[in-house]
């Protein structure tokens, strides 16, 4: 089975949801015209990243009567969507979130579980921590969504893998940093290395949609990628440029790779669980 | 044997940059931050030195030479070289330019204090240049581009509200050593890259003479202390003289005030600078 994946590697207007929504709808139309089955937007694509005190003013809830999600759900009849936004729950906690929309339905909402609050990051100051990592079923098989720092930790991708996800959909708003003699920033190299490693270790597809543009002095480096279950690079977007990238992935590659390399079959989940219990109980 | 080890350790400090990658980020930064603020033009104080030449080259590449105004603001004691080298930059880039001598303005104040030392005089010149820069930015409907590099920002080798004043600074995260690399790649004339850096505030002044060490030395130390988070003790073990490490660290500490907005005494529940947090790019 083939899946035509569009990555919307775009910039965002900081705090201007209306302008960002228009851009989303335009790109969704373009992706649809190109025959895409799925379009993946970056982290906080509807709001911008360094929101600080703007957080409560840009929040939405992914339901049919929300003014932002109404047109997005309508568009999801044509092509499946992953969009980034600020989710406000009924008790007014704000989450960095990504929603998977398909055929007019919200199939899944992921709340970012790991909020970087160190170095240049301050997410824990403004956002609540998500507390679930769950795979979900799509027409392309079982998938999982993670947002930026979530996949800087190995445990969330591992949990998604065990929960049945063969298609890992990663989104980020990754600030570029670390210059040296190489053409790629150190932050870009690091993310590419781990995404390739996840594809290889979990014999899965890893789709990464990263934003571009600037917010004050921060640059977002783009370089969105798709890796196949062999760890092979299927596509890579340019650094620092807006692009709608369309790539066909062959989902049968999962079978060919796992027939050769049965890492999933041989994963010792019972052993992991026993040892985790021991480690967390500090029992030697 | 010990010296040999030290030499080898020093070689591990690598300040090499990839000029193409850095150039792309910095021109993108200038374009983004100028246009989002509602402008299309930039103005740069061109001293004839390397840093302002580089800022001018980057601005011209980002915005188009016709959209950049280079200001030459000589004082009567400025070296003829400074004007000549500024003229080289203007001619090479084809940017717009204006020369406005500041001698009469400066002397109107300086002559009231016959015993005024050269530090005071230098600060007056730097601040007058800021006044002219901002005044011309109004005339040219432009934003002032900063010209301070990472070395001088960290060392506080700058006049507060003088040469440090600007709307945006593209080169403030490049050490002087790295400024030279980018300048070379952008085709800045060698005569400007190779001459001894000077603020040119009094006759015979050079940065390295005034600071008491070379940029090559201090950039390596700052790279360890700041970028690599080495402790002062580790820097000494690495081979830097203890007195040098202490002196540089003290300079960095003492000049922190030049790197921050003036603190506001907090009284209310919401105070600018503490819990009223928005980026400059708010809403754009």
Give the pLDDT of residue B279.
97
- Give tens-digit pLDDT for A91-122: 999 999 999 999 999 999 999 999 999 999 99
Q: Number of A:B CB contacts under 8 A?
A: 66
* Contacts with A240 from chain B: Cβ below 8 Å: 24-25, 28
CA distance B279 to chain A (A): 7
Q: What are the residue ranges spanned by the domains of chain B?
A: 16-209
Give the pLDDT of residue A282.
76
Task: Determine whether the interchain pair B283/A13 forms a contact, defined as Cβ–Cβ distance below 8 Å.
Answer: yes
Residues B117-134: what's their mean pLDDT? 97
- Cα separation of B136 and B139, whole Å? 5
CA distance A52 to chain B (A): 6
Task: Determine whether the interchain pair B21/A217 forms a contact, defined as Cβ–Cβ distance below 8 Å.
Answer: no
Give the pLDDT of residue A175.
97
Give residue A284's pLDDT band: very low, low, confident or very high (50, 70, 90).
Answer: low
CA distance A86 to chain B (A): 16
Site from A55, A179, A183 to mutate, B interface, most B CB atoms within 10 angstroms:
A179
- Cα separation of A199 and A202, whole Å? 5
Q: Which domains does chain A have, with CATH numbers?
A: 2-280 (3.60.110.10)
Task: Determine whether the interchain pair A52/B20 forms a contact, defined as Cβ–Cβ distance below 8 Å.
Answer: no
CB-based contact, A143 to chain B, within 8 Å:
no
Give the pLDDT of residue B12.
73
Give the pLDDT of residue B9.
54
Nearest by CB to residue A183, choosing from B18, B32, B280, is B18
Query: Residue B70: which residues within 8 A CB-CB, separation 6 or more?
Result: B43, B44, B46, B56, B86, B89, B90, B93, B95, B96, B97, B98
Q: Does A67 score more than 60 pLDDT?
A: yes
Three-state DSSP state, A54: helix
pTM: 0.95
Write down the CATH number for the domain with range B16-209.
3.40.50.620
Give residue A73's pLDDT band: very low, low, confident or very high (50, 70, 90).
Answer: very high
Q: Does B277 score more than 70 pLDDT?
A: yes
Q: What is the ipTM of this complex?
A: 0.94
- Give tens-digit pLDDT for B16-73: 999 999 999 999 999 999 999 999 999 999 999 999 999 999 999 999 999 999 999 9
Task: Determine whether the interchain pair A13/B284 forms a contact, defined as Cβ–Cβ distance below 8 Å.
Answer: yes
How is residue A221 annotated by DSSP? E
Task: Determine whether the interchain pair B280/A216 forms a contact, defined as Cβ–Cβ distance below 8 Å.
Answer: yes
Question: In Å, what is the CA distance from A233 to each residue of A147, B7, B106, B125?
Answer: 20, 40, 62, 56
Per the DSSP assignment, residues forming a β-bridge with A206 are A168, A227
Site from B17, B21, B219 to mutate, A interface, most A CB atoms within 10 angstroms:
B21
- Cα separation of A105 and A77, whole Å? 9
Q: Does A278 score more than 60 pLDDT?
A: yes
SS3 string, B116-172, reads: CCHHHHHHHHHHHHHHHHHHHHHHCCEEEECCCCHHHHHHCCCCCCCCCCCCECCCC
Give the pLDDT of residue B199.
86
């Amino acid at each position: 089975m083939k899946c035509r994946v569009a990555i919307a590697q775009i910039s965002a207007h900081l705090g201007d949801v209306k302008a960002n929504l228009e851009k989303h709808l335009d790109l969704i139309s373009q992706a649809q015209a190109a025959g895409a089955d799925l379009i993946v937007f970056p982290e906080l694509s509807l709001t911008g990243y360094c929101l600080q005190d703007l957080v409560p003013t840009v929040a939405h809830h992914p339901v049919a009567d929300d003014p932002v999600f109404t047109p997005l759900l309508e568009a999801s009849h044509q092509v499946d969507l992953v969009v980034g936004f600020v989710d406000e729950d009924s008790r007014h906690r704000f989450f960095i979130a990504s929603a998977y929309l398909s055929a007019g339905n919200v199939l899944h909402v992921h709340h970012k579980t790991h909020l970087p609050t160190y170095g240049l990051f301050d997410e824990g100051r403004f956002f609540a921590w998500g507390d679930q990592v769950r795979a979900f079923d799509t027409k392309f098989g079982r998938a999982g969504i993670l947002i930026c720092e979530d996949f800087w930790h190995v445990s969330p991708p591992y949990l998604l893998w065990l929960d049945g996800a063969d298609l890992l959909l990663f989104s980020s708003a990754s600030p570029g940093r670390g210059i040296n003699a190489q053409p790629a920033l150190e932050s870009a190299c690091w993310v590419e290395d781990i995404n390739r490693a996840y594809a290889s270790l979990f014999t899965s597809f890893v789709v990464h949609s990263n934003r571009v543009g600037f917010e004050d002095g921060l640059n977002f480096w783009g370089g969105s990628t798709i890796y196949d279950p062999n760890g092979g690079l299927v596509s890579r977007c340019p650094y620092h440029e807006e692009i709608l990238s369309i790539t066909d992935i062959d989902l049968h590659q999962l079978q060919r790779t796992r027939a050769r390399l049965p890492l999933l079959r041989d994963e010792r989940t019972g052993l992991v669980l026993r040892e985790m219990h021991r480690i967390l109980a500090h029992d030697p | 044997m010990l010296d040999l080890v030290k030499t080898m350790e020093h070689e591990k400090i690598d300040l090499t940059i990839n000029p193409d990658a850095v150039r792309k980020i910095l021109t993108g930064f200038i374009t983004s931050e100028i246009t989002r603020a509602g402008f299309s033009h930039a103005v740069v104080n061109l001293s004839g030195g390397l840093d302002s030449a580089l800022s001018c080259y980057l601005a011209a590449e980002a915005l188009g030479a016709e959209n950049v105004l280079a200001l030459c603001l000589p004082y009567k004691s400025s070296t003829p070289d400074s004007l000549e080298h500024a003229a080289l930059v203007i001619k090479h880039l084809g940017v717009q330019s204006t020369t406005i001598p500041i001698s009469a303005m400066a002397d109107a104040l300086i002559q009231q204090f016959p015993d005024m030392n050269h530090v005071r005089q230098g600060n007056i010149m730097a601040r007058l240049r800021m006044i002219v820069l901002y005044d011309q930015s109004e005339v040219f409907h432009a934003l002032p581009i900063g010209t301070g590099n990472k070395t001088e920002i960290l060392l506080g080798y700058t006049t507060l509200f003088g040469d440090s004043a600007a709307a945006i600074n593209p080169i403030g995260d490049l050490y002087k050593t790295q400024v030279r690399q980018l300048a070379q790649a952008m085709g800045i004339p060698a005569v400007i890259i190779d001459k001894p850096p000077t603020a040119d505030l009094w006759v015979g002044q050079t940065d390295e003479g005034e600071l008491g060490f070379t940029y090559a030395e201090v950039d390596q130390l700052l790279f360890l202390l700041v970028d690599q988070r080495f402790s002062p003790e580790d820097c000494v073990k690495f081979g830097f003289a203890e007195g040098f490490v202490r002196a540089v660290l003290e300079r960095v500490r003492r000049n922190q005030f030049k790197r921050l907005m003036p603190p506001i005494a907090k009284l209310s529940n919401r105070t600018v600078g503490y819990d009223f947090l928005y980026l400059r790019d708010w809403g754009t």
